[in-house]
Amino acid sequence: MSTVTTDRADAAVSAPANARERAAEPATRPPTRTGGLRRHWRAAVLGAVVLVWLLTWAALRGSQTLELGGAERTDVHTWLNGLRDSFDAARGTSAVFEYLIQPITNGLNGAVAFLQHLLSQPSAVRPVPEIGWLGVVALLAWATFAAAGVRSMLLVAACVLLFGFFGYWQQSIDTLIVTFVAVAICAVVGLPLGVLTARNRRAASVVTPVLDLMQTLPSFAYLAPLALVFGIGPAAAIVTTIIYSLPPLVRITEHGIRAVSPVTLEAVESMGGTAWQTLLKVQLPMARRTIVVGINQCTMAALSMATIATLINGPGLGGPVLQALQSLDVGSAFVSGLAIVLMAIMLDRTTTAASERSGIEARVQRGTAPTGMRGRRGRKIAVVVGAGVAAVAVYLSRTYLAFAQFPASPDLGAPLAKAVSGATDWTVGTFSGFTNWLREAVTAALVNPLESLLAQSPWWAMALVLLALAFTLGGWRPAAVTVACEAVILGTGLWNESMKTLATTLVATLLVVVAAVAVGVWMGRSRLVDSAIRPVLDAFQTIPPFVYLVPALALFGPTRFTAIVAALAYGVPIATKLVADGIRGVSPVTVEAAESMGTTGWQMVSRVQLPMARAAVVLAANQGLLYVLAMVVVGGLVGGGGLGYLVVSGFSQGQLFGKGLAAGIAITALGVMLDRIAQHAAARYGRV
């Protein structure tokens, strides 16, 4: 982004000289009016499309909308129900299931069950786990100290103890088990794959589109198909988590390997180093810190998906959150959600500290670290002593019941849940006038009109409008993808629900962009403001999306607006940081030149910084759109309606499984379509 803006700044500085040169040339350019028409033809086409769309909607409103009732099913939904039954029947007869799917399922279920009996649940021969709570705390603290240092060790010990004091010891350890198993498999698969794509362009050309698709799909889209193949339970939850969390690890590993200096690689080659030696002794050590960052991102994505996977009977903290949301028990939802937040903070800070430590150790090995960092003998002794302390704690937890079963007191969860419920009731009672007004105002002014326009237009008119927008904004490639995705959505029989989901997504994206531009410009223009707000945005990005539903539900109840609020909180951090970085990347030369001409603050923002940071703003809108779509469909759990609600209904009602699976397919098509349009539009308008 900074390169683009610097180029534009240089062009702006040299503009007077270029203008003088052009004045001396013959007037061979086309007329200014024609040039203006060529530059603005897309805006004219978009205006014409919108005008025709509005006229069609006004004339044919409510006709041919393909609306489907809640319990109604199409032939496709019935066929998908039959497909589920066929999969169930094939589990004992099909060779594919017998020799491929079932071994994977049994292996994953067995691994999770083994770890649960070892750490969190009674085993077959003991009324308590093989390693009690004291041993678990000691082992986790020791492993954290060895990898990340004393501060992270204290943080992990405190958070793990709080899980028990909140009353969610077993569920918390189960969540850690699912997360760690998924991350371990991701590391085994993702690290070699990242190295391969970094060193082999052909492999990268094959793997990259697959990773793009995996990152584009909203998390809900994974659930039903994988439950169909692996059944509900830990195996399906782990596979879902792997698919969701593998792409960041592969991409960041690839980036780390490619970022190694070519000069260093040439020096190794000149010394006769083989490709294998170059990888093991140069590229991997020098990319170690970046790879640990990839593991950090993979871990956070895995935790996020592990909580959502409770919908397919995945073990862990997602279950209590889901039950509390369904019963509108805000207090219990807050406590279990707080446990998830603490776990996210714990994992994020630990892996970040491990990344920083790995960077220091790499400098020590190269001899570039300060002298005080080179003496590591004392730390090694501390690690050995810690291992001994952890072994003693494990022995005590296997011998004494008090150290095996987490104590019932102090109970922090019940009083906290009661206090939160009381505070929520007071807040809602006190500010209900404002919250109701805000909900009704946004719904009436934005959601209802746009939903009526999208969902009440004839399906063929809406399809043509989307196709025209895709071609005008992005070109023929996103238009071709749009045609394919529209065909898929029509095939699922859920066109009307897809348009409702699209309406909610667009409203939430608009609010995200407005908030991101307002706050991002403020941050980009002030280092002090940036230093105050950026840590808050980082913290919001750490929170799994499931948790955002809790405060939104508490304030606004189960409505579509609740899903929009949750999506706003989920999408604003990444979009805001992109805008702030874009504003800060504007050339200081251009800013100084504008200031010397007496430009006011508003003129500086509106006429200099925002136009020159256009690429960052468009990218922020693109990323905000994808984040919003992922959260809007999750909002089906709290009254968001649309496709997300159908996915949830498919899991809770057997006769609607096919409809829920179709909704997942429609979500996938909608996500791919929006991503392709947004990416091509970002590439086009970011460089205009």
Distance CA 619, CA 507 (A): 18
Distance CA 343, CA 300 (A): 10
Task: Out of 254-268, 277-291, 366-380, 645-659, pick the least confident.
Answer: 366-380
Q: Say whether pLDDT at 497 is over 80.
A: yes
Range list for CATH 1.10.3720.10 in the chain? 94-411, 420-685
pLDDT bucket at 6, cuts 50 / 70 / 90: very low
Q: Say whether pLDDT at 541 is over 60.
A: yes
**Residue pLDDT, tens place only, 226-272:** 888 888 889 999 999 999 899 989 988 988 888 887 888 788 778 87
pLDDT of residue 5: 36
Task: Out of 136-145, 358-367, 488-497, pick the least confident.
Answer: 358-367
Q: What is the largest CA-CA distance in the chain?
A: 96
pLDDT of residue 686: 57
420-685 sits in which CATH class? mainly alpha
pLDDT of residue 539: 81
pLDDT over 90, % of the chain: 36
Q: Say whether pLDDT at 140 is over 50.
A: yes
Go through the chain and tell me how many residues it has: 688
> Which residues have C-beta within 8 Å of that of residue 651, sequence separation ≥ 6?
223, 224, 227, 311, 312, 657, 660
Q: Give the residue with greater pLDDT, 455 vs 260.
A: 455
**Residue pLDDT, tens place only, 49-61:** 889 999 999 999 9
| pTM of the complete model | 0.81
Distance CA 541, CA 344 (A): 10
pLDDT of residue 687: 54
pLDDT of residue 40: 66
Mean pLDDT taken over the chain:
84
pLDDT of residue 593: 86
Distance CA 309, CA 325 (A): 15
Burial profile 631-650: b = 16 or more Cβ within 10 angstroms, e = fewer: bbbbbbbbbbbbbbbbbbbb
C-alpha pair distances (Å), 362 with each of 285, 286, 357, 365, 366: 7, 7, 9, 5, 6
Q: Say whether pLDDT at 10 is over 50.
A: no
Distance CA 688, CA 683 (A): 9
**Residue pLDDT, tens place only, 547-580:** 888 888 888 888 889 999 999 999 999 899 989 9
Task: Read off the amino acid at residue 577.
Answer: K
94-411 sits in which CATH class? mainly alpha
Q: Give the residue with greater pLDDT, 498 vs 9.
A: 498
pLDDT (mean) for 18-45: 50
Task: Read off the amino acid at residue 520.
Answer: G
pLDDT (mean) for 673-679: 86
Q: Say whether pLDDT at 11 is over 70.
A: no
pLDDT of residue 365: 52
C-alpha pair distances (Å), 209 with each of 523, 646, 672: 34, 28, 12
pLDDT bucket at 360, cuts 50 / 70 / 90: low
pLDDT of residue 361: 56
Tokens of 387: 């291992």
pLDDT bucket at 486, cuts 50 / 70 / 90: very high
pLDDT of residue 374: 46
Distance CA 307, CA 545 (A): 9
pLDDT over 70, % of the chain: 91
Distance CA 356, CA 377 (A): 19
pLDDT of residue 94: 78
pLDDT of residue 475: 86
Q: Say whether pLDDT at 402 is over 50.
A: yes
Count the Cβ atoms, other than its own, within 10 Å of residue 578.
24
pLDDT of residue 363: 52
pLDDT of residue 28: 41
**Residue pLDDT, tens place only, 178-216:** 999 999 999 999 999 999 998 888 888 888 888 887 877
pLDDT (mean) for 504-517: 93
- The angle that helices 169-199 and 150-165 make with each other, rounded to 10 degrees, is 140
pLDDT of residue 30: 47
Distance CA 455, CA 503 (A): 8
**Residue pLDDT, tens place only, 612-670:** 888 888 888 888 888 888 888 888 888 778 888 888 888 777 788 889 889 989 998 99
pLDDT bucket at 515, cuts 50 / 70 / 90: very high
pLDDT of residue 654: 76
pLDDT bucket at 274, cuts 50 / 70 / 90: confident
Under 8 Å between Cβ of 593 and 180: no
pLDDT of residue 610: 87
Distance CA 150, CA 383 (A): 11
